[in-house]
Amino acid sequence: MKKLILLLIFAPIVGCSPVYYVPNTQNVPAITEKGQTNISFGLNSSESTDGIEFQGAYGLTDKIAFQFNTDWPKYSDDSSNGSGHIIEFGPGYYINLSEHFVFETYGLIGFGGLKYEENNSNYQSIKANFFRIAAQPSISFTSKYFIASFSNRISNLNYNSISGNYYDIEYLKANNSQWLFEPALTLQAGIKNIKLQLQYQHSINLTDSNFLQDYDFVSLGLKVNFNTLKN
């Protein structure tokens, strides 16, 4: 029987258990100066589905930065389809520890929604909204051609406005709040202002180790970096 993925990435998968959560890519911009602007486009893949993302970040001052992230997952086959979105944003603090190392930490809030339908003889559907509050510290090694970052997102995830006739809807209603611990490794390589970015992320549920979710997540993107305050 095909089941459901809800939240940041959703899609039916083959198996006997639904999956209710898959993370989105962590934006680790490695801001080092005022006016630095990062824009990236990427594709992501979990154990269950794929998504398309856009991310951006900006150095507001020599200590304060801001980031903005979006994700649009989608799935469909002959008998079912699912789609969703998330918009995430928040301020951060950064400090250059040395010539090649920078520390950042961001406070993030994300909002989104989902829709899933099974188009078979017994039509079922579910809709829900969600919000997520997160803290995301990181440390990065930076150089002209290569950046390596270790980050960790600690978040509280909450589902709301859950509706529909999907058979497993009461499970999500009863487990609508989860704490997550998500370490990630991000590698960037290329020329000075344009780099390919690869990220691996592992999601650990601190509230319920048996919560139905995906645990491993990989994304690949293209990142452009420039300084709007320099000629």
Average pLDDT over residues 194-220: 93
At residue 140, does pLDDT exceed 70? yes
List % helix, strand, coil for the chain (3-state, nearest 5). Answer: 5, 65, 35
Residue 19 confidence class, pLDDT cut points 50, 70, 90: low
pLDDT band of 181, cuts 50, 70, 90: very high
Mean pLDDT of 13-34: 76
Whole-number pLDDT of residue 15? 37
2 against 215, higher pLDDT? 215
Mean pLDDT of all residues in 177-182: 97
Q: Which domains does the chain have, with CATH numbers?
A: 36-227 (2.40.128)
Distance CA 134, CA 24 (A): 12
Quick check: 173 and 179 in contact, CB under 8 A?
no
Rounded to an integer, the average pLDDT of 146-169 is 93
pTM of the model: 0.88
Residues 68-91 have pLDDT tens digits of 999 987 777 777 777 778 999 999
